[in-house]
Amino acid sequence: MIRSNYFEKSVSRETLVKISKYHGFLIENNRKMSLISKNSENIAIDRHYVDCAQLIKYLDKSDKTILDIGSGAGLPGIILDIIKKDYNLEFSTHLVEKSPKKVKFLNEANSFLDLDIKIHNCDVRMISKKNFTTLVSRAFKPMKEFLEIIIESNIDFKKIILMKGEKFLEEINEAKKYFEINCESHKSITNPSSKVFVIKGVSKI
């Protein structure tokens, strides 16, 4: 079982067991393929799982279908799906990931953890489902490129939650040259130099 003050305080024992199972499965598979950086394996709980779980506070009952774009190992989508019932949320979770190898891992994790996540193996621009209430993404693309891809994808959404690292200011300033962005930014609880952006509206200038 993983040890984590954050999760021990915020989720049920059953959920903690599931996060632990996910951790074991991820580390086992990380030997065969690159899902998370090897250097972060020992600190995966805070660096990856708590980092992803913190997004749950920006979701509410109006978030019905979430799409995690460039999900990789399932971050943040799988973590949010595992913890949602501790927050009385009932959204359905979709992941889109273009790498077939990673999608094989995601499908196996979905069954192993007994989740009901929908996994799309394609470039997000080609995704057939176009309606989501909420888009989430972590370590995918710089903000300007991300917004261009979303517009090209013709996806409908009400909200975007983006996790951004140390270059967040540079990224938002660049994106604002091309897009009118209505967003709030919040401190990350895992890294003081990172931010969580909640975007409620975006249009091309």
Ligand X SMILES: C[S@@+](CC[C@H](N)C(=O)[O-])C[C@H]1O[C@@H](n2cnc3c(N)ncnc32)[C@H](O)[C@@H]1O
What residue ranges bind ligand X (CB under 6 A)?
70-73, 75, 96-99, 102, 123-124, 138-140
Nearer to ligand X, 1 or 139 (CB): 139
* Strand segments (E) across the chain: 65-69, 92-96, 118-120, 134-138, 159-164, 179-187, 195-204
| Least distance from ligand X to the Cβ atom of residue 68, Å | 7
Which two tokens mark 9?
A: 């305080």
Nearer to ligand X, 63 or 97 (CB): 97
Among residues 83, 84, 80, the alpha carbon closest in space to that of 71 is found at 80
| Least distance from ligand X to the Cβ atom of residue 89, Å | 20
Residues 6+ apart with CB under 8 A from 133: 62, 63, 64, 65, 66, 91, 157, 158, 159
Nearer to ligand X, 53 or 73 (CB): 73
Nearer to ligand X, 75 or 196 (CB): 75
| Least distance from ligand X to the Cβ atom of residue 185, Å | 18
| Least distance from ligand X to the Cβ atom of residue 53, Å | 13
Other CB atoms within 10 A of residue 187 CB: 12
Nearer to ligand X, 99 or 185 (CB): 99
Of the CA atoms within 13 Å of residue 4, those in its CB half-sphere come to 26
| Least distance from ligand X to the Cβ atom of residue 30, Å | 11
